[in-house]
Amino acid sequence: MRRRHFLQLPAAAMAAAPQVPEKSGMKITSVRLVRTRPRRPVPSYRPAPGSWSTQGVEVANPMSIYPKYKANRALFFPDPGHLGGFTVEIATDKGIKGYGSGGPGGGAVVEGNLRKLLLGEDPFDIERLWDMMWRATMHYGRMGIAINGISGVDIALWDLIGNALNMPVYKLIGGATKDRIPAYCTGNDIEQHAEFGFKMLKLAMPHGPADGREGMRKNLALVERARKALGPDGEIMLDCWMAWTERYTLEMAEMLAPLRVYWMEECLQPHDYEGFGRLNAQIKSTRIATGEHEYTRYGFRQLLEHRSASIWQPDMHWCGGLTEMRRIAALAAAYDIPVIPHGGGQRDAVHFVMATTNSPWAELFMPAPGGPPEVYRRFEEDNQITRGPEGIYVRPSDRPGFGWEFEVV
């Protein structure tokens, strides 16, 4: 009796099977930094007095212990001309392009190191290209600007692949895992956000340990204001932006317990894995969230090993791009940890949220109050906003790639 391997297909079936080429037939011919502008410019305006987005409104930050920089984060932020975010364009010999953005300083890494690794390569070899960029920058990178550079390139490669296949990115990485995505709004213009329809708000805490008991009372008053605006069923999250200490966080958690805060975010400096672990174990009235300023799966493995957080918040433009964020999400999924990305409602990151089962919400930043009606109408259109039981919902674009709507200048 003739034996046949159980995986061997008959010749007719093999002939009928689609033949997938090993290579895309494309080569990367150009990697350059570009400036962009919206195809439909949004009217500029001066925000209404008292809006949290104005420069005179204080937000707690790591430099709050220094009076000179306490009032305004912009005073110590890097010069955008030297260490700002960037947009990279990757083009192929077939005329297909992709665009991606990365975090502060990453543009210098793209120009000075990553470009020469990418030229002549097949853009579809995205896993290998990520590994090449990681290994090439490891001796000076692993965190910070090197990973910011890799992030932007990786996002551009996914955009390029989507454009080449005429498919939105979320379809490339698994398809829709939900009909639409519940969204929360970050910012302290509470009444505007609630009136718009948000039922989930994240507040930027204005005060930290440098402000003493009076600052704690003001933080409490802000959360009370949000609870009043949202009612008993709305969700409230707090962004502490690396400004608090363990002791301060424990005391604030106790004060805020009756107000049912959903999570407290980045209470400590991002490298304090042990401190986050202690807070996560001790605080029962809310959840501890962090990861906005964490890099790659190796950093998130530290969060896991120290049980530092109940919610992870990688930023796709900083953590290593879409490729690495998918690895982070897979690691989290094995331990039933939700991944709610920082900036998850942005036009590229929302594709990740749509395609990832353990990524339930997206973060939006609403235009400040005081603008003309067109500003808010465009905000709704650009994010494909709908309304429902959880308030505001968003969806990614169904155009190819990430569906960017800008032009290169």
3-state secondary structure of 150: helix
Q: How many CB atoms lie within 10 A of CB 244?
A: 27
The identity of residue 297, as a single letter, is: R
Q: Are 301 and 322 in contact (CB under 8 A)?
A: no
Return the closest-CA partner of residue 203 out of 241, 231, 177, 232. Answer: 241
Is position 306 annotated as part of the catalytic site? no
From residue 72, give the alpha-carbon distance in Å to each of 45, 60, 343: 20, 9, 21
How many whole angstroms separate alpha carbon 33 and alpha carbon 46? 30
Whole-angstrom distance between the N-terminal and C-terminal Cα of the chain?
71
Q: Which of 193, 293, 342, 351 is catalytic?
A: 342
Q: Are 208 and 251 in contact (CB under 8 A)?
A: no
CA 221 to chain CA centroid, Å, is 29
Return the closest-CA partner of residue 121 out of 151, 153, 145, 146. Answer: 153
The identity of residue 189, as a single letter, is: D
3-state secondary structure of 144: coil
Which residues does the annotation mark as catalytic? 342
